[in-house]
Every structure is written in C-alpha cells, then in structure tokens.
Amino acid sequence: MQRNAPLFVLLLGMFTALSGLSVWSVQGCIPDASGWVCTNWLLFPGLVLLVAGVALIVAGVFLELQRTRGQPPLDALPLLPLCPVCGKPLLYVADYELWYCATCRRYAVPGVAGSVPARV
C-alpha cells in the first residue's frame, strides 16, 4: 500500500462530504408545521454524496491505522548522533569509548563542529 493512500482517501472523503453538504443545503428546504419540506430534486443526491464522503473518511482513518499498526512511535526510536562533517550516523566503538564515522573514516564527538581530528 502506498504511503499517501490513506491521506488521499481522507481528502477525497472530505471533498465528497462537503460537496454533498453544499448540494443538500442549497435546496429549497423550508420549515413547515409538520417538519421540513424540501422541494428541490437535488436533495437525495446531496445526501448520498454526504454519506459517501463520511464513509470515505472512515475508510481513510481505517487505512491509516492499518498502515501504522505495529510500527513504534517516532519518539520511541533511538536517535543516533550524526557526524558533524558529513551528517551520516556515527557508530559507537566501546573499546575506545568514542564515536566513529564510517564515511569519513574518523572518530568524532557528536554534535561538535570541527571535532573530527586528523585521520587515525
């Protein structure tokens, strides 16, 4: 499934529901002693669009929930420090208690610009 499919379904549902609501609300509906009397023939299509739009919104929410099921929240993922030179993730070398950039082939202090010493 594409990443943007739930968003597309949600937007389509919102557009359809709003279109249905606008078509339905432009009717010649007036209050009567027995309730509302609508004389315009567009009342039924407007209500159909409104219901279809709500159904699409529900489907989009369902698709988004299925897409993200089982994925950890972004704030739960560990953040690796980045190399101050190239911006790639650093690897921790426990023997030296230093961070190493495999791209630059240098040890670095994460987040400190100019902390990369000459090649080791």
Given a contact cutoff of 8 angstroms between Cβ atoms, the answer to whether 99 and 110 are in contact is yes
pTM: 0.47
Closest CA to 13 of 64, 63, 52: 52
38, 25 Cβ separation under 8 angstroms: no
Asked whether residue 58 falls in the same domain as residue 98, the answer is: no
Q: Which domain holds residue 119?
A: 78-120
| Structure confidence at residue 118 (pLDDT) | 43
- The per-residue pLDDT for 27 is 59
Domains contained in the chain, number: 2
Collect the ranges in the chain with pLDDT lower than 70.
1-3, 24, 26-31, 38-43, 71-78, 110-120
CB 14 within 8 A of CB 7: no
Spatial distance between the Cα atoms of 61 and 17, rounded to a whole number of angstroms: 15
- Side chain identity, residue 70: G
Do both 71 and 83 map to the same domain?
A: no
